[in-house]
Amino acid sequence: MRAAEDKDVFEVLGDDGSGFTLAYLRSSPDCVKLVNADGRITFMSENGQCAMEVGDPADVVGKTWWSLWPDAQQAVLKSHFDRGMAGEICRFQGSCPTALGHDRDWDITISPIKNDAGVVTSVLAVSRDMTSVS
């Protein structure tokens, strides 16, 4: 049934699927990252750059995602990334300072991205700032 639901979404979006994706990325307050199979960030949304206080995308693109986190959190991120690459959707929480050193608490969701053959080629990592949520 999942494939039918995905098909319905694509039929509704039609040829404008890329426009929808771009609009979503621009409107989401979350830090949305595309992480390739090697664990390297290939994309970070503009609002994500703001949330992480990243001045220049070149500061994060091409780096391994977990290397941007404190040493104590890196194994957790790598483990969840591996689960995503294995096809699992997973969620966890962690603390990571911004690029400017401001402490933040994050709620992270990892979703596998599959090619047309159904092979996971990368993951979508969405981090929501939970610092001010009480």
Q: What is the pLDDT of residues 19-28, one digit of tens each?
A: 777 777 778 8
Burial readout 75-94 (b: 16 or more C-beta within 10 A, e: otherwise): eebbebbebbbeeeebeeeb
Indicate the pLDDT class of residue 69, thresholds 50, 70 and 90.
very high
Over the chain, what is the mean pLDDT? 86
- Average pLDDT on 91-104 reads 94
Rg (CA), the chain: 15
Q: Model pTM?
A: 0.82
What does the pLDDT average to over 92-106? 95
Q: What is the pLDDT of residue 20?
A: 72
Cβ–Cβ under 8 Å, residues 127 and 134: no
Instruction: Tell me the C-alpha distance between 92 and 115, whole Å.
Output: 25
Question: How many Cβ atoms are within 10 Å of 126's Cβ, its own excluded?
Answer: 19
Residue labelled with tokens 């509704």: 12
**What confidence score (pLDDT) does residue 25 get?**
74
100: pLDDT strictly greater than 70? yes
> What is the C-alpha to C-alpha distance for residues 41 and 35, in angstroms, rounded to an integer?
4
pLDDT, tens digit, for every residue of 7-53? 555 565 555 566 777 777 778 889 999 999 999 999 898 889 999 99
For the ranges 8-12, 45-49, 55-59, 123-127, the maximum mean pLDDT occurs at 123-127
